Amino acid sequence: QMTDISTKEGPISPSYDWFQTDSLVTIVIYTKQKDIHLDSIIIDHQNDSFRAETIIKDYSYLIHIVRVVENVGKIEIVLKKTENISWKCLGRPLEKHNSLIPKKDTGLYYRKCQLISKEDVTHDTKLFCLMLPPSTHLQVPIGQHVYLKLTITGTEIVKPYTPVFDSLLSEFKEPVLPNNKYIYFLIKIYTAGLFTPELDHLQIGDFVPVSNPEGNFKLSKLQEVEDLFLLAAGTGFTPMVKILKYALINVPSLRKVKLMFFNKTEDDIIWRSQLEKLAFEDKRFDVEYVLSAPTSEWKGKQGHISPALLSEFLNRSSEKSKVLLCICGPTPFTEQGIKLLHDLNFSKDEIHNFTA
Ligand code: FAD
Ligand code: NAD
């Protein structure tokens, strides 16, 4: 129930719609106003109740959910009137109201997030921490990415980035606590690149628009997996971060997780000491580095992805164990890797690559 605020002087009454994916439900508010800014929207989720207030001039438009009945597929939305007056209607239906449309047809929705911190991780890769506006609840599903948007010489540019945790060793926060305020990214700065130098120039406190999540990974792929093999090259490591931690904590069938991490040099290895600490703490997890341009001191594995490296690395814990292979890195790396995996008789269902 909403307050009918369609008066001759006041704004047209907003309306709302909602849609869902496997893990997310989105409520969309059509304000019918051009000049609504993010600071006009207030969202809180406390003590099981959800409250969204949109401020339009002198009016408030409220959505207030007090109960979500899980497992029955039923969601009750209770809206609190701002004034105790009787309503003639719920709202004026707008385009696509009350219809189920493909998710891809909704387009990307952005909200401005604030840069909270930026830390060096390697010589060219940094950990960025962005804070969601207080008005937003957004949880990026494991294995998915978002788009960041910047205006560069008058043109809006968007690029995809995969959220990570602030550390491999910090406590697993999702999906137990859905209301994370912060989103972390590991981003490599390319001095000759278009987007990342601009991103690097942002000051603490500046804002960056962040889109809704997208991606083709489904958590169900991890169901009953016994051996998880992660093939990552460079920043292709980013989707592995959450998958790795999720698997170690939430997949009871899991016997082994192996990360084969391809980099140019030792200095390029992201979170090396954390990876080693995790491997020490959890005997199911192993990491192996392969360098394509090592120094002469490097005693470990060398070269690019190859049949020899893969067949040595991909030994199952048992002959018939359920396997998932995740691969991510520069396009030629991923393409070559997938071909090699097929040659090694891994099926399409056993291989996941991350696409935009
Ligand atoms: P670009 O301008 O795209 O240039 C990249 C490199 O190519 C630079 O070294 C540049 O010098 C070189 N280059 C550009 N043009 C040419 C040319 N014509 N010839 C030769 N060389 C050229 N990146 C991350 O760091 N972290 C992530 O978590 C992450 N997640 C991603 C998720 C997805 C789904 C995808 C598809 C990509 C992801 N990326 C991630 C990569 C990211 O989206 C950008 O591609 C990356 O940040 C480079 O952007 P840029 O505009 O700075 O560089
Ligand atoms: P990089 O240039 O540092 O290379 C890392 C390793 O990749 C190299 O050591 C080498 O082993 C391998 N490699 C590079 N070029 C290769 C080639 N032509 N053939 C075979 N192997 C090759 O990598 P980077 O600069 O960190 O780039 C990471 C890439 O991963 C970017 O292209 C980025 O777009 C992509 N990425 C994709 C996603 C996704 O979800 N799709 C997520 C993160 C990053």
Q: How many helices (H) and strands (E) does the chain have?
A: 5, 20
Residue 12 banded pLDDT, cuts 50, 70, 90: confident
Span 126-135, average pLDDT: 90
306 in ligand 2 pocket by Cβ < 6 Å? no
Q: Which residues of 8-23 are buried (b: 16+ CB within 10 A; e: fewer)?
A: eeebbbbbbbebeeee
Lowest mean pLDDT among 30-39, 263-272, 340-349: 30-39
Q: Assess whether the C-beta atom of 215 lies below 6 angstroms from ligand 2.
A: no
pLDDT for 54 beyond 60:
yes
Which residue's alpha carbon is at the smallest distance from atom 4 of ligand 1?
193
CA atoms within 13 Å, Cβ hemisphere of 336 = 14
**Ligand 2 centroid from CA 334, angstroms:** 8
Other Cβ atoms closer than 10 A to 273: 10
pLDDT of residue 277: 97
How many Å lie between the centroid of ligand 2 and the Cα of residue 265?
Answer: 13
Closest ligand 1 atom, CA of 197? 52
**For position 17, what pLDDT does the model report?**
82
Report which residue type is found at 104.
Answer: K
- Mean pLDDT, rounded, for 188-206: 98
> What mean pLDDT do residues 11-30 have?
76
- For residue 356, the ligand 1 atom closest to its alpha carbon is 34
For the cut 70, the answer to whether the pLDDT of residue 64 exceeds it is yes
Taking the C-alpha atoms of residue 260 and residue 313, their distance in angstroms, rounded to an integer, is: 8
User: Distance, CA 264 to ligand 2 centroid (Å)?
Assistant: 10
For the chain, report the end-to-end CA distance as a whole number of angstroms.
39
Pocket of ligand 2 contains residue 188 by CB under 6 Å: yes
Domains of the chain: 15-93 (no CATH), 110-211 (2.40.30.10), 219-353 (3.40.50.80)
3-state secondary structure 106-142: HCCCEEEEEEEEEEECCCCEEEEEEECCCCCCCCCCC
Tokens encoding 290: 């392969």
pLDDT, position 104: 72
Closest C-alpha among 270, 254, 260 to residue 231: 260
Which residue has better confidence, 90 or 273? 273
Q: How far is the CA of 203 from the centre of ligand 1 (A)?
A: 21
Strands 15-20 vs 25-30: parallel, antiparallel or unpaired: antiparallel
Q: Ligand 1 pocket test: which of 140, 145, 149, 327 has the largest number of ligand atoms within 8 Å of its C-beta?
A: 145
Ligand 2 centroid to 320 CA: how many Å? 31
Q: Kindly give the distance from the C-alpha atom of residue 193 to the centroid of ligand 1, in angstroms, as a whole number.
A: 7
Of the listed ranges 36-50, 179-193, 209-223, the least confidently predicted one is 36-50
Helix (H) or strand (E) holding 61: strand 59-65
264 ligand 2 Cβ < 6 A: yes
16-30, 107-121, 128-142: segment of lowest average pLDDT: 16-30
For the residues 128-140, what does the mean pLDDT come to? 84
CA atoms of 355 and 78, how far apart (whole Å): 38
Q: Residue 230 and residue 20: Cα distance in Å, rounded? A: 30
Q: Taking CB atoms and a 6 Å cutoff, what residues make up the pocket around ligand 1? A: 145, 159-162, 185-188, 190, 192-196, 235, 238, 354, 356
Considering the chain, what is the average pLDDT of its residues? Answer: 86
Confidence category of residue 5, pLDDT binned at 50, 70, 90: very low
The answer to whether residues 205 and 117 touch, using CB atoms and an 8 Å cutoff, is no
Q: Which protein residue has the closest C-alpha to ligand 2 atom 34?
A: 330
pLDDT beyond 80 at 354: yes
Strands (DSSP E) contained in 121-253 are 125-131, 146-152, 155-161, 163-164, 182-188, 207-211, 227-233
Omega before 175 within 30 of 0, i.e. cis: yes
Antiparallel, parallel or unpaired: β 67-69 and 74-76: antiparallel
Q: Which of 278, 296, 295 has the alpha carbon at shortest distance from 287?
A: 278
